[in-house]
Amino acid sequence: MEVAMSKKEIKFCLLYRDMWQSSGKYVPMVHQLKQFAPLVVEMGCFDRVETNGGAFEQVNLLFGENPNIAVREWTKPLRAAGIQTQMLERGLNGIRMYPVPADVRQLMFKVKKAQGVDITRSFCGLNDPRNLELSVKYAKEAGMISQAALSITHSPVHTAEYYLSIVDELVKFGTDEIALKDMAGVGRPTMLGKLTHAIKTKYPHILVQYHGHSGPGFSMASMLEVAKAGVDVVDVAMEPLSWGMVHPDVITVQAMFKDAGFKVKDINMKAYMEARSMTQSFIDDFLGLFIDPGNKVMTSLLVGSGLPGGMMGSMMADLKGFHNAINMGLRASGKKELTLDNLVTMLFQEVGYVWPKLGYPPLVTPFSQYVKNIALMNLMHMLKGEERWKTIDKTAWDMILGYTGKLPGELAPEILQLAKEQGKEFFTGNPQSQFPDALDEYRKEMKENKWDFGKDDEELFELAMHDRQYRDYKSGIAKERFQKELEAAREKAKTPIVVERPVVEMPRIDVDKVLQQYPDAQPIQAAAKGQLIWEVAAAGDSKEPVVGTKVKEGQILCYVQTYYGMEPVTALSSGKLSVVAAKQGAMVEKNEIIGFIA
């Protein structure tokens, strides 16, 4: 299984986009990236750099800046030095969190190639080859290198043989490379080595690249195993954003491979230290205000749950918010309150319980959120003495029913029965068929607004891919909103912390008083941090919520406009709006109580 190590060269890809995304909310601005690019070249050890994709373009729109300029300016000096640039895209979801029409997907590859991106890493969170077929086709038509990714996880279903069968399909589509996307870092080293060896033996012309997060601690062993099995490129990070929930540092990985007899490039340590210092200066400037300190810590708890490290921050925010609500209910029923550690353990156990029941979807964006949310709501219901599965939102149902692709495993009988009881219909067709072409409508909007289509239709693409964020960028609202958020974060950072308190501020209302008046009231909590847009049916033409409005369990009450899109807030029970604590358009924190249903 091992290759002749002394003759094998392993190349490094610097994950400068993912390093930031796995750490916090934002990425460096274009002027910072232009400063950083020459140091990447000087370090001399990187053949590839992950420059964009994922949330990169979206974040630039949130800054109120043009993402097309950012991609062109960032990739230009790297490519001039012979370093390949690489992006991440989510197959059916493109570079956003929900499905994209085929004509918009096709335009994406043309635009990104014209902007200077060489390689596209395409992944489907369910490993459904149908969601990747067009990605491979469109990437190659645009002249890009197509790298199709396997979403790696650990389960009875996800064997080396299972993954190799997917590779067979991807090779038929014409992919140039295969990535092992170990997004949670839970792939076991032995299995990954076996899989790499199988791919390189069957398809020696296919380049294999390994991507593994540090979170649960397997990644260094996994890197050595895939290297021995013939891997060509490994993804690495660098200080001060390596390790923790991010990726191993290039210095350690290079030293390990060198000692094992592989051919690796030397690191210019002077340039490394300058790059390290510059990255820290970006953190000190403003990016550190939006980085969760917990992401610097590795945890073996992830071995059991399989949740990706980047989700730990959002999960802890969820738990801190629900912590108060859960204990509020326990107090009301005379039961013992739970500590946050109790809830963390219980949630990990519940994820472990529901994941097999849901057909083992790999826990990567957005499916990791769906599984985690179902587990969290199950926990809420069980602590109130109720049964599991009472609250499953529409996006999770879409996953269960096959609208986003075929699940790797079988659904449990209770899930099938639940779908039958609720009159849900399963979908077996190609997920792309549900989303008709849309570019003509966006062209019409561009013309009506007298907006420039941009070089290579790149502005048309941004509107079609991120329509809400693009409109806010064009109106100036995005820049204004970001400046306010930045000012608030800086003010908060100046405020001395006297006592330890939850990260998320909970109700701005007297909860005990509400419960005295409405003993059975259920809290409505913001789904995410952002701008609240109420949509509850109300009197007249107003979309403002009206106390007394009847609502049904599962009904979408309102939306929170976040930096990545709209998050719906659903009713956890049927009843009437008894208390409204947040006005339409207000800025809310994740899990803040915005009302009650009684």
> Could you tell me the CA-to-CA distances from 310 to 22, 23, 41, 430, 489 in Å, in that order?
5, 7, 28, 30, 21
pLDDT at 175: 98
Q: Which residues make Cβ contacts (< 8 Å) with residue 10, sequence separation at least 6?
A: 227, 231, 232, 233, 234, 257, 262, 263, 264
Q: What is the pLDDT of residue 278?
A: 98
Percentage, residues of the chain above pLDDT 70: 89
Q: What integer pLDDT is reported at residue 507 of this predicted model?
A: 43
pLDDT of 140 > 80? The answer is: yes
Identify which of 547, 539, 598 has the alpha carbon closest to the alpha carbon of residue 572.
Answer: 598
Residues 6+ apart with CB under 8 A from 430: 130
Between strands 530-534 and 587-588, the pairing is antiparallel
Greatest mean pLDDT range, 268-272, 335-339, 540-544: 268-272
Using pLDDT thresholds of 50, 70 and 90, give the confidence band for residue 504.
Answer: very low
Instruction: Centre a 10 Å sphere on the Cβ of residue 61 and count the other Cβ atoms it contains.
Output: 25
CB atoms within 10 A of CB 263: 13
Digit-coded pLDDT (tens) for 15-71: 999 999 999 889 999 999 999 999 999 999 999 999 999 899 999 999 999 999 999
- Mapped onto helix, strand or coil, the DSSP state of residue 341 is helix
Domains annotated for the chain, with CATH where assigned, are 12-290 (3.20.20.70), 299-433 (1.10.472), 511-597 (2.40.50.100)
Q: What is the pLDDT of residue 340?
A: 81
Q: Is the pLDDT of residue 539 over 60?
A: no
What is the mean pLDDT of the segment spanning 544-571? Answer: 76
Instruction: State residue 437's pLDDT score.
Output: 97
Q: Is 298 or 567 the better-scoring residue by pLDDT?
A: 298
| Span of 4-18, 480-494, 495-509 with lowest mean pLDDT | 495-509
pLDDT at residue 70, rounded to an integer: 98
Say yes or no to pLDDT of 1 above 60.
no
Q: How confident is the model over 114-135, as pLDDT tens digits? A: 999 999 999 999 999 999 999 9
pLDDT at 502: 36
pLDDT of residue 515: 64
Q: Is the pLDDT of residue 460 over 50?
A: yes
CA gap 510, 61 in Å, rounded: 37
Residue 595: pLDDT band (50, 70, 90) is confident
CA distance 25 to 289: 9
Q: Of 254-263, 298-307, 308-317, 380-389, where does the model show the most confidence? A: 254-263
Q: Which of 86-90, 338-342, 518-522 has the lowest mean pLDDT?
A: 518-522
Average pLDDT, the chain: 89
Residue-wise pLDDT for 465-479, tens only, equals 999 999 999 999 999
Q: Which of 34-43, 238-247, 532-541 has the lowest mean pLDDT?
A: 532-541
Q: Would you state the pLDDT for residue 568?
A: 79
The 10 Å Cβ neighbour count of residue 168 is: 13
Q: What is the pLDDT of residues 180-232, one digit of tens each?
A: 999 989 999 999 999 999 999 999 999 999 999 999 999 999 999 999 999 99
The length of the chain in residues reads: 598
